[in-house]
Amino acid sequence: MKTNLGTVMITGAAGRIGSAMRIGLREEAERLVLADRVALTAQSPVEEVRRFDLLDPDAVTAALEGADAVVHLGGVPDEAPLPELLEGNVLGTHHVLEGARRQGVRRVVLASSNRLTGFYPVSTMVTPEMPPRPDGLYGVSKVAVETLGRLYADKFGLSVVCLRIGSFEDVPSEPRHLATWLSPRDCLGFVRAALTAPDIGFAAVYAVSANKRRFWDLEAATALGYTPVDDSEPFAPRLAREGDEEGNQPQGGVFASPEFTLRHL
């Protein structure tokens, strides 16, 4: 069902998820502001492109003028040196939240990550209320992102939804995806719900498809107003390996290995 989203800004609009959300939301927004530090071209009468760096707080605030909501997808997307992550993810998110506060934006949707809890074992069904156990420095930066969102919700009354995004892929391509896959259709459903759910002060939600093998609880997603529809199980005969579901393995898989972070230290 189509909704009227008003004016929505998407940061990181040139990225994989940003590009997909741009297509999915353009029919429902009166005005879609596409923000990135690389050049973009408007492809619809409702689209408006803005080129700037999230580290420029004045540019961020100016771009948010008149916005009803912002979907913040910009930042460093994977493991990196901590100073780079703090700058790109934490400081960039702070500029978005502060710009939203100054401009009176109704809803802020922050791209968090499943890797915020990647050190829980695969045998554990993790809920958003459980303490963070990041599987690397990237996960640490997303803990800070969510904490900033909570601060702005509690202190300044912003309505903030943090989506702990799973493995966004057209189809699952590795064994871990049998638990973590987030299909493009479900990703759009989660973002749409995060933009439109009423009476939200702060919420953290795992954005993952309805995978039979998932290890993240979806109760919060249901409360947000979205029930995912896709399931990775049809891909299991091709991808499943013996021992993949052993209970002592970290949910982050290779992301939780020392080597994955040591190269950035």
Contact yes or no for 256/136 (Cβ under 8 A):
yes
Burial code (b: 16+ CB inside 10 Å, e: under 16) for 19-36 equals: bbbbebbbebbebbbbbb
Work out the number of other CB atoms within 10 angstroms of the CB of residue 181: 30
Choosing from 138, 152, 206, 226, which is the catalytic residue?
138
User: Is 138 a catalytic site residue?
Assistant: yes
The CA distances from residue 66 to 40, 105, 136, 200, 220, in Å, are: 21, 8, 37, 20, 30
Report helix, strand or coil for 68: coil
Contact yes or no for 111/72 (Cβ under 8 A):
yes
Q: Distance between CA 48 and CA 118 in Å, rounded?
A: 37
| Residues involved in catalysis | 138
